[in-house]
Amino acid sequence: MCPVAAVASVGGMNDNRTAMITGASRGLGRALAAGLAREGFDLIVDARDGAALDVVAGTVRAAGGTVSAVAGDVTDPAHRAALLAAAQAAGRLDLLVNNAGTLGASPLPALADYPPDELRAAFEVNVIAPVALTQLVLPLLRASGGAVLNITSDAAVEAYAGWGGYGAAKAALEQASNVLAAEELAVRVWWTDPGDLRTDMHQQAFPGEDISDRPWPQTVVPAFIRLVTERLPSGRYRAAHLLPVVS
């Protein structure tokens, strides 16, 4: 049975747009979950921390949203299969947000000192896992004329000392996104830099430093909502350029 046929038999037709968000238990993923739920999306969310993910799901439900929480590690093929099953049960998938990621080694080492095992792990989380998950759910996204949103970073295009491992992985994700956009003409593909935010990952990059001058993740959610609701062309975006200009 093809994946699209399986959707019809398992979940039937669903008129509600459905979004899948990885790494949704904290930071930008959590903020995006809340924002997309407010826009009327049903959600499928994942994170390694099941307890924290349940808190997010409870918050969404308390606000009247519909959410399926699937705890696990996105680098695990069995977990990715469980996410696909959740989307099939929902009956459709309109948006995949590949947000889950890892900084890699911390404190940030020079490339000359970067442990190869940690570099390999960074690529597994930041490149292999999102590409593999995208492959699984593409039939659903094609059927709905949906979109893939990959979270990237300015470290993918700028040379920052100490950011070689993370930046190289995000650069690989960007090129994979670029090629996917050329291949999947019925699906929007966006790779978007949210900017520096006040998140746990950003704190890991600057251990012991005060990062309270960085904005909270929820401040950039309107940029992502614009991207999704206006269905902008496939391509690379910076959240700062999508936010309304404050006069």
Give catalytic residues, as residue numbers: 166
DSSP three-state, residue 50: helix
Distance CA 169, CA 154 (A): 12
Spatial separation of the C-alpha atoms in residues 224 and 195, rounded to whole Å:
12
Q: Could you give the CA distance from residue 21 to residue 29 in angstroms, rounded to a whole number?
A: 7
C-alpha distance from residue 227 to each of 3, 166, 231, 232, 237 (Å): 27, 25, 6, 6, 9
Give phi and psi for 204, each to the nearest 5: -60, -30
Listed in sequence order, the DSSP H helices in 1-115 are 3-10, 27-38, 50-62, 77-90
Place of tokens 């990621």: 101
**HSE value, Cβ hemisphere, 13 Å, CA-based, for 128:** 12
Take residue 27 and report the two structure tokens written for it: 């930071």
Report the relative pairing of strands 18-21 and 147-151 from DSSP bridges.
unpaired
Residue-wise DSSP of 116-163? HHHHHHHHIIIIIHHHHHHHHHHHHHHHHT-EEEEE--GGGTS--TT-
Considering only CA atoms, give the Rg of the chain: 17
